[in-house]
Structure formats: structure tokens, C-alpha cells
Structure 1
Amino acid sequence: MKSEKFKELAENRVNRVIDDIRKVANLSNKTRYEYSDTQIKKIFTAIEEATKEAKSQFQVKNDTTKKFSLD
């Protein structure tokens, strides 16, 4: 049940993200839009950071906090 719900939601959300990325790519049409290299870098930095953050949520969480010890 949970895996079915995950699959359903994941497929819908990932397809929506892919569609939105294609819409961002449509902004590359220089006959319709004017933009700077700085703006493009900001866009893709934001996308990459959001992707990295989302991916990290799926990583196995290890207890990396250091414990105090006098030994």
C-alpha cells in the first residue's frame, strides 16, 4: 500500500518537474527573451541545489555526531 502510494506520487511529481524543466529550457529562445550569463548561472545553481537537497533526503542517515569522551 505505502509503496503503491509512493510510486503514484513519485511518478506524478517527477513528471511535473521534468515538464517544468522543459519550460525553463524554452526560455533559451533568444528571439523571444533577453538574458545574461549571470541569470542563467543563478537559475541552474538554484535547480542543482534543490536537486542535491532532495537527493540527500533519500540517503541513509548515519549518526555522524561526535560523542564526547575522556578516553
Structure 2
Amino acid sequence: MRDKRQKFVDLAEARVNRAIKDVRLIGNLSNRSAYTYADEDVRKIFRVLQKELDAAKSKFSGGSGDRESDFRLEE
């Protein structure tokens, strides 16, 4: 049983830390001197991120955790 707990802790720490790093990198995209973007782009980014967070959280409560396909700003 302890092995399953340790595996969960190890994976959770690595994955959450990686997600935090990637969210910070998304925040770096706000630099208007380096990038051009519309407010709708920002809304799309955070809408899809929130949906994925909600889906992941739902899985811990026994939900299905429906996921989006790959994210695209432009089609």
C-alpha cells in the first residue's frame, strides 16, 4: 500500500510542478512588446485551461472528466 502512496506523491509533485511552470510561461505571453494578441485570445486560453482543471478535479470525485481536444486559437 505504501508503494502506491509514494508513487502518487512522486507523480503528483512532478506533474503539478510542471503545470505550474507551464502556467507561468503562459503568463509570459502577456508581454505586448513581444507579442500581439486579442482579448478574445486570452479568454479562449483561460476558458480551456479552466475547463481542463474542472475535468481533472471531477475525476477525483468519480466524474468522467470530459476533456477537450488539442487547443487551437486559430483553425
TM range (shorter): 0.7 to 0.9
For these two proteins, the number of residue pairs brought into alignment is 61
TM-score (norm 1): 0.83
Q: Which runs of 4+ in 1 moved over 6 A?
A: none
- 2:52 aligned residue: 50
Which structure has more RCO (C-alpha within 8 Å, separation ≥ 6)?
Answer: 2
How far residue 52 of structure 1 moved from its aligned partner, in angstroms, is 0.2
- Encode CA deviations 1:3-57: one digit per residue, 9 max, x unaligned: 0000000000000000000000000000000100000000000000000000000
CA RMSD of aligned residues (A): 0.9
TM-score (norm 2): 0.79
What percent identity do the matched residue pairs reach?
44
- 1:65 aligned residue: none
The structure number with the bigger radius of gyration is 1
5 Å-filtered alignment, 1:1-71, equals 1-60=3-62
